[in-house]
A and B are shown apart, each in its own frame.
Chain A
Amino acid sequence: MKIIIKKILVATVLLFSFTGCEDILEPQVFNQINASEFPQTEADILAALIPFYAQFNQNYGNNDPTRQVYTFNFNAHFLGYSWATSIQTDEAFDIFFFPESNFTFGPATYNTNSGLTFYDRISFVARMTGLIDIIEKSDIPNKELYIAETKALRAWFMYVLYDFYGPVSVRLDPTTLADETPLARPTKVEYVTAMVKDLEDAIEGLPEKYNGTPNWGRVSRGVARMLLLKVHMHEKNWLAAKEVGQDIINMGYALNASYKNVFSDAQNDEIIFAVPGNEGTGNIWFACIIPGDAKSVLGVDVTRGAKYKLNEMPWSFYDTYSSGDTRLETIASEYINNSNATIGRNNGLTGAIPMKYTNYVPSENEGFDLIMYRYSDVLLAMAEATNELDGPTGEAQGYLTLVTDRANTTANIPVGSFSSKESFRDFILAERGRELYWEFGIRRQDLIRNGSFISKAQARNLNARDHQVLFPIPANVIIEAGGVIEQNPGY
């Protein structure tokens, strides 16, 4: 009652005036903070980097509070970036026929408020530009490290956007962050230069590697170099690509003796970057590929856990592996169902099961280290760049056979694969497919670089058109920009 009496007194006083009430009318927020108190420590900066890293997580996604939109993570194997790219290629088949997989997408298919596009990550680039500016102006210890780390991440996001949409209107100048006029798209050269600059700065400021350290999961110099290699390969700057590839080779990464173990031995020397996972993180990798009635796949008990197979590896792709290829230890061509029957391609299994990770976790709520970049990709890129520069030289073949030796397939390399630049190029493309199947958007990028992305889709009876090597800028972005932002050609 006491509190009520006090309030009645207040109310009585109020009969006459609001004067003196300013204090109790101050906003009372308890679970959020004001930006002026940030950042004060290294931990604060790391906390500010977490939302960017979190985009690479393997669970579905997050609600972006500033836009009140649920966005899917890059590695959500359902509507995520990897998904959307794999299902466009010969390595994966989407049994749900999303617009991406049957090439029926257009500008109206995507809306930045739908959460189903990755164009919205352009906002994260601006956020990182702001964060870099804040760190630069602060007195936080080790600030050079955090600037380098943020720049590497910014370049990474820019690369993902570039891969999907071409050069887009990223905000890289901190003084323009509050501008409310739409920004035109930069030229390809400007955009690539900016990515390369960020990555070179990052290479300068980052520690060598985090394999086997408590900082595993953060970007290191190796990751920045890998991204730079990706950019140069994308641009077919073969010389620059070789240069950075050689830098990576000199860093002490090494192929794991067993292909299978690359994906089950955490933090092994072949891995350049993996998204760390444990029993507290999520994944929907297995749920997306294992048939609902499966009991055992590749000898692994999969009874527990969600299984709602959404995509598979087409048999046509599976059949490009030669027998004895050790990589087949990670791909199932049959499984045992709940009735203990073996289901294979002759009795109902419509495609191979690309397990990749044989250390099955029984729940969507448990995770594992998901590899995004690894050393064999570097070797194959070196082979490709060398071939493009000098043809199928011994050096080029040397990089390749390191990979095929491990797969136990060097002996099976078809005659004539090394006979010309063209045939070697074709072989490397196929070998990259076999080696790097279902890894972070790699197959789509390879096919586009090779110029066969659309023709291969058409060969699968899909109505793919040439301009679909890029995704359309979402229609609402074009409309809002009122003509300042140009749509990708063809849409």
Chain B
Amino acid sequence: MKMKINKSSLLFAMLLFSHLLFYGQTSPITGTVNDDQGMPLPGASIVVKGTTNGTTTDFDGNFSINASGSDILLVSYVGFSPKEITIGNKKSLIIKLESDAQALDEVVLVGYGVQLKKDVTGAVSTVKSEDLNTVNAVTIDNLLQGQAAGLNVTAGTAQPGGALNITIRGAISPNGDNSPLYVIDGLPISNNSSTEFNSAPEGFRGGFARSPLANINPNDIESVDILKDASATAIYGSAASNGVILITTKKGKAGRTTVNYSSTYSIQTAKDYLRPLNASEFRRGANDFGTEQFRANNQLAPYGNGNTPITNFTPFFSESQIANAGLGTNYIDFVIRDGSINDQNVSITSGNENTKIFTSFNFFEQKALLKGSNFKRLSGRINLDQKISSRINFSLGVSYNNTKSDNVATGQSNDIDSPSLLQSALQFAPDILPFDEIGNTTVGYYTRTPNPASYSKITNQNLSTRVILTPSLKINLSNALNLNIVGGIDNTSTERRFFVPVSANFLTVPEGNAQLGNSKLGNYSAETFLNFNNSYGDHRVSAVVGAGYYKNTFSDYGLEAIGFPTDIFGLDNIGIANNKLQSNVSSNRGVTRIKLSQFTRLNYTLKDKYILQFTGRFDASSNFPENNKVGFFPGISAGWIASEESFMKDITWLPELKFRAGYGTTGNESITANNIFGSSLYALTTDFSYLIGNQLSNSGFIQTQLGNPDLKWETNITINAGIDFALLKNKRITGSVDYFQRTAEDLLDFRTLPSSNANTVQVFNIGSTRSTGIEVSLRTENVITDNFSWSSLFTFGTARTFWVERNPGVELASYIGENDAINAVYGWRTDGLIRTADDIPDYQPNALVGNIKYVDLNEDGQLDIDDVTNLGDFSPRGSFGINNNITYKNFDLTFQIYGTYGNLTFDGFQTFAQPAILARQGAPTNVEANTLNVFTSFNPNGIYPGFAPDAAGNNNPTRVSDYRTVENSYFARLKNVNFGYSIPMDEVSFIQSARLFVNFDNLLFVTNSRGLDPEMERNNNPYPTALTSAIGISVQF
């Protein structure tokens, strides 16, 4: 691990030294560089043509350079057309640069510095703040959906503040993490930042995973750059295999102080949701289904030849009870309401030559659709840039975020009896009112289903505070070389507050339960790097060399108290709890991870046409196992700007054409991020405890993992080839096409040891997966006139993810192909339901009516493992986004569509068909209305499987069938429509601009999959999705 990088550092140092020797003996020339408005341009580059002698302007746009009268100065500035100035006799120059409209966008953040877009050789997408419609956005990631080809964003839950799954170019790590690395203003945000209390005390589901970006104000974002291929991401080494998302926040600007204020108020209304049976349907159904269950249990016709008299069955409800039931209470309507969002944002941009400040404050409050899941955020930011001397700049970003989220129990649980508000609302008896005469919550027939009204008495909150500090110091050592020292502190502290009072009348928590806890996360980083940029005639060289230190920490503690003699103190005095035997304390300090890194990027451009780039990073981590402490991740890429060639100059319809190709390797350190899999570890744990002598509860000592000192990170090898182009004379169409092949090797996997061993799994590296795909991104200026303009962004990406090499230690079931898709689904094919005895196939001898009829695929007369086949792939084949911006006079309209296609989707209602719980004798439970579509003797056309035990299905090796699935499903959603009107403010001197707008999120979607919204969670109680209608104003002073 020693000194590997030092030779290149040395060469680099020599290069710098030689550069310093070029200083000549000429007289000083001073001058100022201004933009076309006469504003000074700080940081513009001035070079004496044909030499390496150069300088940059200071914050007033002033410069001084040694040159002779015959020299020609090359003046350039990002976003402006370069100019050549002959000095002549002048000792002082005023140089005006014309802005280059096309070039303005074309700086790209690539990690540890920016690059001109034309120099970029990797696959990089940039999303500018103008393209991010921040209306109602809780998190930044939500905004990225459909904005960049190859970036796939799917919602895990519609709950406010919930995390989205973001993958770049396909999820190919079956056991590791597939989410990209986020770098906010240079600070890498580690994956564990998303950890918040997500526990399920007493079976109360705390909700959902949170986005690591949930407490960052989307309005502060200046741009998002997405590094997709390894030739670009290799500079982030072992953290970068899933791509890197670089987020830059807004900075202060010299000149006039501007104040932006925007205010939005939104109404949320629930889209289609599950419908529980009404009271008379429920009572009728409980009797009918109860009878049917009795028939099935006693093998009465049509389920056999049993002779138990049907009169032995006692219906739970009498006919008069059914007749008088009415509609009862719809508990879904009881817990889902119209929501609202109040979003207020103010930001101030100001500055002078020495000090520039951006400050912002955001207030975001969401009254959520589902009672008890509100979200509130207060956040503030100060970004300061301070010039200390002509060569030294200091900047500091400070952000403070405070979120409060109410986490009413939602979400899927394996335990059907775990409390969840939506599940309770679906299952609580609709013929029982929520409250009795004296206002207490009532109890249903099946007492295990809590009364939905009880949840409102429960406190279940996360209060989270996050502070991010990003100090940095930039020292211009010479005109071509600067030293950057960048620090980062990211601290999140989350308090969990949970209280079930006795009065909530939860039968599973009869004595009351209080939990208080706190978790703390820390990300610390310190990086030092040198940036070098210079030209030598036709040769342009830029380089970065640096090193970094990173540390992640986690700790938490919790208190649980049980047995409350009174509810009145709530969480404010949990010490009064009297059940000391069940009360608990816990604390935990997680693995601290320390990473040391060295990184470099060398970029060489010849004649502005041929580009060669090398990136590389060494990472050494305390979490990497003993025998693999250091990893090296190189990337190499090349570009050819063909349109700069003389033979292309005449092709006016193709003003820009660039070919790119790259190869690189990166690591997926997530396998070791929060675990030390390399070591065999043991723990004393209360998970295994046992009472001895009726008084001592003893904690057990158990091996927690069998280590593997040879373990290493997963390695990703990416090959990327792309074309960037601009079409038509005025570059009305710009775009790029990329092909990639991303291969993961040394996958983290679990080696299965013989079942008779003490440890039956050991983590190790084996196997390989790959994703391949193409990405197309097109930006078009469809119409440009004075009054009317229309531009579009179209993104499209495919990713096919499949196995390349399997774990040889795991014998593949016969139905699994060696190179099948990673998310392939295997099961039996089906052919409808068995509706009459005649439908029973010979290979399902024990089948009864209402069973699924499976397909004996190989026609060998029996249903077995050989009939299992590949039913499809859970991962979509591709995703697309279409954004349109239209302006007409003072009106503007944007709308965004995105969608995916090509995956296998299960019937969204199938899991809701739960006839058994409605039929439960003596304790019927309400069900979703589709349950009435179950096959029964009185509903022989029912579409869902019936009551009879499915003998064949119980022996289905995968327990999966294609019953009511859609193989090539698709959906497209009109995600967002924003319509605005800019109020003419020419007469009002103190207002620069003002815009009124209306905004609609989630207006409609089209799909061919069965069930509700295909993006809704596929579980028994998905969080409802909303149509969000907003009205707002934004004003700039």
Contact = CB atoms under 8 A, between A and B. Distances in A.
A461 B297 CA distance: 9
A338 B922 CA distance: 12
Interface stretch (A43-51, A137-145, A322-330): A43-51
Nearest to B759: A66
B693 A216 contact: yes
Nearest to A107: B955
Given A18-B596, A348-B922, A477-B755, A365 B692 contact: no
Interface stretch (A96-104, A393-401, A420-428): A96-104
Contacts of A102: 949
A250 interface: no
B986 interface: no
Contacts of A482: 811
Contacts of A293: 445, 447, 922-923
Nearest to A279: B581
A25 B547 contact: no
A7 interface: yes
Interface string B682-721: 1111011111111111111111111000000000000000
A126 B921 contact: no
Given A7-B487, A183-B756, A35 B680 contact: yes
B811 A168 contact: no
A17 B701 contact: no
B695 to A, nearest CB: 7
B810 interface: yes
B811 A216 contact: no
Interface in A88-130: 95-97, 99, 102, 104-109, 112, 119-120, 122-123, 125-127, 129-130
Contacts of A369: 694
B813 A479 contact: yes
B916 interface: yes
B161 to A, nearest CB: 27
B128 interface: no
Interface string B578-600: 01011000001111111011100
Interface range on chain B (Cβ under 8 Å from partner): 35 or more
B758 A126 contact: yes
B954 A32 contact: no
Contacts of A16: 6, 9
Contact of B510 (A38, A183, A305): A305
A313 B299 CA distance: 20
Nearest to A122: B756
Contacts of A21: 596, 620
Interface in A1-20: 3-4, 7-8, 10-19
Contacts of A281: 691, 697
B851 to A, nearest CB: 11
Contacts of A365: 562, 582
A463 interface: yes
Interface string B414-440: 000100000000000000000000000
Contacts of B588: 31
Contacts of A177: 757-758
Contacts of A48: 700-702
A279 B298 CA distance: 41
B318 to A, nearest CB: 12
A213 interface: yes
Contacts of A363: 510-511
B691 A278 contact: yes
Contacts of A213: 693
A175 interface: no
Given A30-B590, A34-B681, A308-B448, A24 B314 contact: no
Nearest to A24: B594
A62 interface: yes
Contact of B756 (A4, A123, A362): A123
B690 A57 contact: yes
B1 interface: yes
Interface residues of A, number: 120
A34 B6 CA distance: 36
Contact of B596 (A3, A24, A50, A123): A24
Contacts of A18: 1-3, 596, 598, 618, 620, 630
B449 to A, nearest CB: 9
B489 interface: yes
A47 B957 contact: no
A279 B695 CA distance: 10
Contacts of B676: 27, 29
A106 B447 contact: no
Nearest to B2: A19
B701 A47 contact: yes
Contact of A292 (B304, B447, B471, B691): B447
Contacts of B487: 4, 7-8
Interface in A67-94: 67-68
A369 B695 CA distance: 12
B628 to A, nearest CB: 12
Q: B545, B680, B681, B865: which has the most chain A beta carbons within 10 Å?
A: B681
Nearest to B755: A477
A336 to B, nearest CB: 14
Contacts of B732: none
A480 B756 CA distance: 11
B622 A214 contact: no
Contacts of A96: 916
A308 B447 contact: yes
A216 B692 contact: yes
A306 B508 contact: yes
A171 interface: yes
Interface string B916-930: 100011110000000
Contacts of A34: 679-682
B916 A104 contact: no
Give the most central of B508, B526, B687: most A CB within 10 Å.
B526
Nearest to B297: A97
Nearest to B555: A30
A168 B756 contact: yes
A317 B1 CA distance: 74
Nearest to A218: B692
B489 A4 contact: yes
Contacts of A299: none
A305 B511 CA distance: 10
A292 B690 contact: no
B761 interface: yes
A27 B679 CA distance: 9
B236 to A, nearest CB: 16
B239 to A, nearest CB: 16
Contact of A25 (B620, B681, B705, B757): B620
Given A11-B527, A48-B701, A480-B810, A127 B679 contact: no
B703 A66 contact: yes
Nearest to B469: A4
B756 A50 contact: no
A120 B753 CA distance: 12
B956 to A, nearest CB: 7
B754 A180 contact: yes
B255 interface: no
Interface string B56-99: 00000000000000000000000000000000000000000000
B759 A123 contact: yes
A372 B676 CA distance: 40
Contact of A276 (B489, B679, B691): B691
A354 interface: no
Given A7-B487, A15-B598, A27-B591, A126 B756 contact: yes
Interface in B122-143: none
A291 interface: yes
Interface string B655-683: 00000000000000000000010111111
6 contacts: A7-B525, A15-B547, A35-B680, A179-B754, A214-B696, A276-B691
Given A17-B3, A51-B688, A278-B581, 19 more contacts: A7-B551, A10-B596, A11-B547, A16-B6, A25-B596, A25-B620, A25-B629, A33-B682, A65-B703, A129-B758, A171-B756, A267-B694, A277-B691, A278-B695, A306-B417, A306-B508, A308-B923, A369-B694, A481-B754
